[in-house]
Structure 1
Amino acid sequence: MCSTSPESSSKRITYKRTRPNPLFLEWLEELHEEAKTKKSKLEPMLKEALDSITKYPLPLQTGAECAILKGFEKKLCLFLDKRLEVYKYNKSVNAGSQSKNEIPSNMPSTSSYDEQNVRSLEPLVVVEKYNPEQIIVPKKTASGSSKSSNKSNKIYKPSFRSGGYAILIALLEQFRNDPNKFLSKEQLIEKAQPHSEESFIRPKPDTFYTAWSNMSRLITKGLVQKIRNNKKVKYGLTELGTLLAVELKEESTGIPTANDAIFNNGIVSTETEISLPQIAPITNGNNNIHEDIHTDRKQIELKAGTFDIILLIDKNETSGVNKTDPTVAQFNKYPELKHEYRSLKVGDFTWIAQDRQNKSVELVLPYVVERKRMDDLGHSIKDGRFHEQKFRLRKCGLKNVIYLVENFGKNQHVGLPIQSLMQAMANTRIHDGFKVHVTNSLSNSVRFLAMMSKRLTIEYKDKKLKGCNEEPNGEKLMTFKYFSTSSKKSKPLTVTETFIKLLLQLKGVSVDKALAITAVYSSPSTLIERYKTCDQKEGEFLLANLKYGESNRSVGPVVSKTLYQFFSKTF
């Protein structure tokens, strides 16, 4: 029988878990850091969750189990579960790739990589309506196993102008300038933002994700390397990442951005000169103005380099031209942007070419922007303003109409179901032929307008422009004075214009359809008289085969029947 000394018997061996939940802890630290940097309202909740999981002594297997701790709301638990799911999937894919020697030699092993660099683990991005880059997790089969794909090991390639694309292109540019210099997060965001349609600062609606969230996937895929130097984190391309970035750069050459799409059919080519019939000049103190002796109207000619492109902003878009107004404050962030606040009778934004010597000489460029926040769009559809505004925009004489639609928070209280608003935007783009561009915030809308101004300045700087006080014709422009006067709401409407406005109130009738109908039947009375000569079946299909718009599509039997029932029974 062996004896035990008092000293040895009183000594207890304890085991302390220093980090029982390292993955969840690291992911929360990452979220909290971003929320703190952005001064997000989620920061207190994330701080509470981070504190509670740090003190919790036992391992947690799922995000759902975290609900027992303070600060873990349902969405946060779901986020952790989704991220854990993709982490496990990526780990299994990486392990499989390693066994086939498909991992580049400069890529860390799966075990050390996953344990020591958990911040780089890829979250599952919940697919949003406007998310250009989707991360897809393999679906489970009935037996519970993941469906295998021959493309499962295919090299990851981010979508054009997504967050991942922008990061790779920015790092490639840096590599070409200085191969030995890595970039900090702040430096990289500044260089990457111009290459992305997503924001690196503002999260997508109802998610924690920004364009920066793509960084973790780039690291996981061995495209970007993350190093720590004196506690500072910096990023650079791996050899594989450099090859992919070069490929993306080459493939994207010539691909239009969202801004480019606006200009596909609008800008005059550099070989084309805007022309009018030759008019004998009469000297009047301004070389840019000629007198048309036949029409007694001033013909304006602005030579290249003699004018400025100025963005005009409707005063109704602001609550006064002062620095405290949100819209004014956003435009003030672009000191080089030439802009003025005026009363616009149609649209919210347009551009003019203004003579530098005589600022009263102004020609309106063929672009007009109608800005709609989602809630305003919903209300305008309900009260009928939406169709009236589209009609006035179509008739204003500016051939390039752009609807700038701005998301409103979570788009939950916008007057109509979000599906209805999406359909309205689709109809505006397809049936009315207007451009539609969607942004996530006022700041992004202003940035888009600033980009357009810069683009217009570049496009027109070498042009010679001509116009006068009359409706634009072909490439001839109109003066701002004529544009303002002819667009007034109080301008008397013709019978045909009144008929068009009436047709637009009926379901399924777009501006193009209304114009096609009134081209044949210029007034309600002419249509009613025609219906009187038809039996019911003939009347219901009278307008069905009328062609409308550039697509030359038919008005269709549904609209035709609706109009027959309305006009044959109402009048």
Structure 2
Amino acid sequence: METRLEVLLREPNPLFTRWLERWLREAERREQKSQFKLRQALESLKSYPLPLSSGRDCSILRGFGGTLCQLIDEELRHHRSVQLVPQEAEAQERYEQQVQAVIRKVQEKQLEHQTRQNKSDRPRKPTKKDLAELAALEERERVVEMQPGRFQLLLLVDTQETSGKNKRVLDQTRSYLESLGARHEVRRLTIGDFLWVAQDQEGNELVLPYIVERKRMDDLASSIRDGRFHEQKHRLQHCGLQHIIYLVEDYGDNEQLGLPLDSLQQALTNAKVQAGVRVVRTANHFRSMSYLAGMSRSLGQIFAGKKLHSVDRGALDKSTCLLTHSDLGLLKFRALYEDSAKNAQLTVREVFVQQLLQLHSLSLERAMAIVERYPTPRCLLDAYAECADQKQARLLLSGITCGPLERPLGDKISQCLHEFYSTHFR
């Protein structure tokens, strides 16, 4: 493995930087459109770590078009025609000496590394971490098959469901399930509050295509206010399980919830119609556990005569797990656990969606419509930079349609998003 020595100069291109800053100030004073490209070019130049000798060399950087490169070359020729004062000549000489010293140091490091590599060409012995990662990969790729009658169903309960927010008051989840005869186990889940697994005698576990998110009405209102509701719904839709159930409990007379009851009912209706979520309303906690116990009995009857086998999430689709089939493809619990972890690696597109969901008035449908047009924040910022003026930039997103009725986002949301991204990324 080569050793790289990173050399960072404080200001590799001071002349070009000073000229761009002057041109940018003039463009801003005159409110010219060129200010956006100049600002982009200046940021690229300040981020570039190596010296550039001409405007043509600058063409590799973002924001430097043919006109700007030609302007730099003309300014450079004029600058060279003026005789350097002694201080500048001396500073230039010191700078060149420093660059040559750095080059010699890099060459010495490369020679030293090559000498060490020639002395030790033995293959590296795998560490315990390497062996553990290899074993985990082999376990994940191993195909699991379960024959009819050779497995039993188990209801998994998230650890957060076994105790209330007040440590002195224990939640009744376990005691209710035990009294109702539902076979269950408390375990940390990275997605949802309840789900069912098929477990064989060897300890293999396949996840049934049902997942339950339990919410009390006051918790539902709180999650809508702080944006967790849309973020959770988005994660549930992309976890790989087909049937998503929202188990919603009444909170007394559903008063003092923090949001109007009509708003909560509308949010549940939207989830049901637009996202295909099944909403189940119960009167209290005991009724919720009764529903889960009944689900356990029903699923036990449905899956008793099925043959089950494991599939990867990438190969999973709706046709893989139709209950009318005798052979069903299911996800492994370990794969679901790791892929659904909040700290799992996300694509830029997925992070962009989650970021948008934290903004006020942006539902999942609106966020997905924006990301469909602009997959990353960089694409959105580039689109803002290409706008003719600030008014066009503020209204850039207003015409994007979303939802079954294809309603536009509107001017207000478009202006809020422009203000947010133009304030935090410049």
TM-score, normalised via structure 1 length: 0.43
- Residue type at the aligned position of 1:344: L
Structure 1 residue 344, shift from structure 2 partner: 0.7
- Equivalent of residue 278 in structure 2, options 427, 435, 454: 435
SS of 1:311's partner is strand
User: Which residue pairs with 1:350 in the alignment?
Assistant: 195
Q: Is the 8 Å Cα contact of residues 313 and 342 (structure 1) preserved in structure 2?
A: yes
Structure 1 distance, partners of 2:418, 2:262, is: 33
User: Where in structure 2 are the equivalents of 1:287-298 lying within 5 Å?
Assistant: 297-298=141-142
SS of 2:270's partner is helix
User: Which residue pairs with 2:150 in the alignment?
Assistant: 306
Q: Is the 8 Å Cα contact of residues 384 and 396 (structure 2) preserved in structure 1?
A: no
- Equivalent of residue 567 in structure 1, options 399, 417, 422: 417
User: Which residue pairs with 1:519 in the alignment?
Assistant: 372
- Equivalent of residue 223 in structure 2, options 367, 374, 380: 380
Alpha carbons of 1:464 and 1:562: their partners in 2 closer, same or farther (altered >3 Å)? Answer: farther
- Equivalent of residue 421 in structure 1, options 264, 268, 281: 264
Q: Structure 1: which 4+ aligned runs deviate by more than 6 Å? A: none
- Residue type at the aligned position of 2:186: Y
Structure 1 distance, partners of 2:269, 2:172, is: 29
User: Where in structure 2 are the equivalents of 1:163-562 lying within 5 Å?
Assistant: 297-319=141-163, 325-335=171-181, 337-355=182-200, 357-358=201-202, 360-468=203-311, 470-471=313-314, 473-474=316-317, 475=320, 476-534=329-387, 536=391, 540=395, 542=397, 544=399, 546=401, 551=404, 553-554=405-406, 556-557=407-408, 559-562=409-412
* 1:81-128 deviation per Cα after TM superposition (whole angstroms, max 9, x unaligned): xxxxxxxxxxxxxxxxxxxxxxxxxxxxxxxxxxxxxxxxxxxxxxxx
User: Which residue pairs with 1:167 in the alignment?
Assistant: none
Q: Is the 8 Å Cα contact of residues 467 and 477 (structure 1) preserved in structure 2?
A: yes
- Residue type at the aligned position of 1:505: Q
Structure 1 residue 383, shift from structure 2 partner: 2.4
Structure 1 residue 532, shift from structure 2 partner: 4.2
SS of 2:298's partner is helix
Q: Is the 8 Å Cα contact of residues 404 and 437 (structure 1) preserved in structure 2?
A: yes
Structure 1 distance, partners of 2:140, 2:348, is: 29
SS of 2:305's partner is coil
* 1:242-264 deviation per Cα after TM superposition (whole angstroms, max 9, x unaligned): xxxxxxxxxxxxxxxxxxxxxxx
Structure 1 residue 470, shift from structure 2 partner: 4.3
* 1:315-347 deviation per Cα after TM superposition (whole angstroms, max 9, x unaligned): 110129xx9741112111222x22111111111
- Residue type at the aligned position of 1:341: V
SS of 2:371's partner is helix
RMSD: 3.0
Q: Is the 8 Å Cα contact of residues 528 and 567 (structure 1) preserved in structure 2?
A: no
Structure 1 residue 391, shift from structure 2 partner: 2.1
- Residue type at the aligned position of 1:435: R
List gaps (5 residues or longer) in structure 1. 1-293
Alpha carbons of 1:397 and 1:561: their partners in 2 closer, same or farther (altered >3 Å)? Answer: farther
SS of 2:210's partner is strand
Structure 2 distance, partners of 1:485, 1:310, is: 19
* Larger RCO: 1 or 2 (CA < 8 Å, sep 6+): 2
Q: Is the 8 Å Cα contact of residues 369 and 400 (structure 2) preserved in structure 1?
A: no
Structure 1 residue 303, shift from structure 2 partner: 1.8
Identity of aligned residues (%): 40
Q: Is the 8 Å Cα contact of residues 162 and 170 (structure 2) preserved in structure 1?
A: no
Alpha carbons of 1:456 and 1:513: their partners in 2 closer, same or farther (altered >3 Å)? Answer: farther
SS of 2:144's partner is strand
Q: Is the 8 Å Cα contact of residues 432 and 512 (structure 1) preserved in structure 2?
A: no
Corresponding pairs, count: 270
